[in-house]
A = this chain, B = another copy of it.
Amino acid sequence: MAAVSAPSGPPETLSGRERILSAAAQRFLDAGYVETSLRDLAADVGMKAGSMYYHFESKDALLIAVLERGMSLMVDAFEEVVDGFAVAGVDNAIESAADQRLAAHITAHLRALHDNRAFTAGHVTLFRTAPQVVREAVLPLRDGYEARWTALLAEVLPDRSIDERTMLRLGLFGAMNASIEWLDTGRGTVDRFARLVADQFWRGVGSEPSEESSGKGKR
């Protein structure tokens, strides 16, 4: 009765709470937060509405849990790329590798976004209209991810002003995150889009297309 949050130690009950979490993420994303009733949600996991209060103290807490997991997955993906470049040797070509570093992070962002779509997409579609309690709870994690990208762009585009870098970052995020609304999940498709975004972001679209044409070569 005191704390429902953690049962005791390591024995994380993975069936009950986890099933609710996944179903909630999916339904929140498909139908929206308010449009999703706890009764429908409970039916998805074979429960009754009131039963879920054993695992989560409120509907808001459920949304917070979903969004926190989503953002954690994104942060992890970012750090994985950082670690990858760290072992590759710092004394590599610093300048010429800038576009490759950026490309790697773009790919990682898009992969993490689509591989865990149910959890991550909520940050794009329903964070904005989420209850204030929810937004405040998840904001630290979001800010952390944003800060990583801000730092990355500062290293990779040192000649741009801060204002321009901010706008470029937000524009890049917009281009990438909007893909959850139209891109059919599938590793191949995601990677192709990632290459296109990275290529276009760095070299633009005015010059001739890169050599590796995809699918049916128009050329």
Contacts and interface: CB of A to CB of B under 8 A. Distances in A.
A95 to B, nearest CB: 11
Interface string A174-187: 11111101100000
A181 B34 contact: no
Contact of A209 (B162, B164, B193, B202): B164
10 contacts: A34-B34, A161-B218, A164-B214, A167-B192, A171-B175, A171-B179, A175-B175, A200-B204, A202-B205, A202-B206
A182 B200 contact: no
Given A202-B204, A202-B205, A204-B203, A174 B163 contact: no
A73 interface: no
Contact of A179 (B128, B174, B219): B174
Which of A167, A173, A201, A215 gathers most chain B CB within 10 Å?
A167
Total identical chains: 2
A141 to B, nearest CB: 18
A218 B175 contact: no
Contact of A218 (B125, B160, B181, B208): B160
Contact of A31 (B129, B160, B162): B129
A197 B173 CA distance: 13
